[in-house]
């Protein structure tokens, strides 16, 4: 029995990247899978966080370690566009408030640290952060609504910080805190 096109689509690994259209203009995207960010500001993935329980990770790189490492924000954000960033650039809103309402900070990160984001839409807290596999009990988002996208906020600073977005089970360094979490998958049309 031959494989159908649908079977092949099901078995092919999903490939997601950082969405340049939804990310701050100060974010640069690199890496073979376009899943590594450089620069500063808000960066969003190109896939919405649809499953009831989803999990993904960010691997942190400190490119020139010197001085204090600022806190980074992790979580989700609503869809953004160039107009959003233009309006904010003309406002008095502090940069760390640019679309980070559903995000929490992790202070004192080191080169190689991995931040896991566990999202569950039916339980409270809705987002819980993990640092190198350990729950960060003070880093949680209690509730949100609507379509959201995995997001990270990197403040402008020295040293230079980059982050790699890990979204598939074969990429995870620590993995979800318990069974029942799904990897991020693109929405599928019903035809």
Q: What is the pLDDT of residue 142?
A: 86
Judge whether 88 lies within some domain: yes
pLDDT tens track for 3-30: 555 544 455 566 789 999 999 999 999 9
Phi, psi at 84, each rounded to 5°: -55, -50
At 87, which CATH number? 2.60.120.920
Count Cβ atoms within 10 A of the Cβ of residue 61 and give its class: 0-12 exposed, 13-18 middle, 19 or more buried: middle
Is 174 part of any domain?
no
CB 59 within 8 A of CB 118: no
Mean pLDDT (10-residue bins), the chain, 191 residues: 49 78 95 93 92 93 79 94 89 80 92 95 86 94 88 88 94 93 69 40
At residue 173, the pLDDT reads 96
Question: Do 40 and 27 contact (CB within 8 A), yes or no?
Answer: yes
Kindly report, residue by residue over 105-124, the tens digit of the pLDDT: 998 899 999 999 999 988 77
DSSP letter at 47? S
Q: Is residue 162 part of a domain?
A: yes
Q: Is residue 190 part of a domain?
A: no
Q: Is residue 175 part of a domain?
A: no
Range(s) of the domain holding residue 62: 14-166
In a domain, 184, yes or no: no
Asked if residue 186 belongs to a domain, the reply is no
Q: What is residue 7's predicted lDDT score, i.e. its pLDDT?
A: 47
User: Which residues have CB under 8 Å from 168's CB, separation 6+?
Assistant: 13, 14, 183
**CA nearest to 184, candidates 38, 1, 16, 69:** 16
Q: How many helices and strands in the chain, by DSSP H and E?
A: 2, 11
Would 106 be classed as within a structural domain? yes
Q: Spell out the alpha helix ranges (H) of 54-148.
A: 82-89
- pLDDT for position 69: 82
Structural contact between residues 27 and 20, judged by C-beta atoms closer than 8 angstroms: yes
Q: What is the pLDDT of residue 150?
A: 96
**How big is the chain by its Cα radius of gyration, in Å?**
17
Give the count of domains, the chain. 1
Q: What are phi and psi of 170, to 5 degrees?
A: -75, -10
Cis bond upstream, residue 125 (ω within 30): yes
Q: How far is it, in rounded angstroms, from Cα 163 to Cα 111?
A: 10
């Amino acid at each position: 029995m031959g494989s159908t096109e649908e079977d092949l689509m099901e078995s092919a690994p999903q490939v997601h990247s950082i969405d340049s259209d939804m990310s701050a203009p100060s974010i640069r995207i690199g890496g073979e899978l376009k899943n590594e960010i450089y620069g500063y500001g808000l960066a969003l993935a190109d896939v919405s966080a649809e499953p009831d329980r989803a999990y993904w990770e960010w691997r942190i790189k400190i490119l020139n370690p010197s001085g204090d490492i600022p806190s980074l924000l992790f979580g989700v954000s609503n869809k953004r566009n160039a107009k959003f960033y233009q309006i904010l650039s003309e406002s008095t809103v502090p940069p760390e408030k640019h679309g980070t309402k559903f995000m929490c900070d992790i202070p004192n990160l080191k080169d190689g640290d991995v931040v896991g984001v566990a999202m569950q839409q039916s339980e409270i807290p809705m987002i819980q952060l993990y640092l190198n596999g350990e729950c960060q009990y003070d880093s949680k988002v209690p509730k949100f609504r609507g379509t959201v996208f995995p997001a990270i906020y990197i403040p402008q600073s020295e040293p230079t910080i980059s982050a790699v977005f890990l979204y598939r089970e074969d990429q995870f360094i620590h993995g979800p805190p318990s069974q029942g979490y799904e990897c991020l998958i693109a929405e599928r049309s019903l035809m």
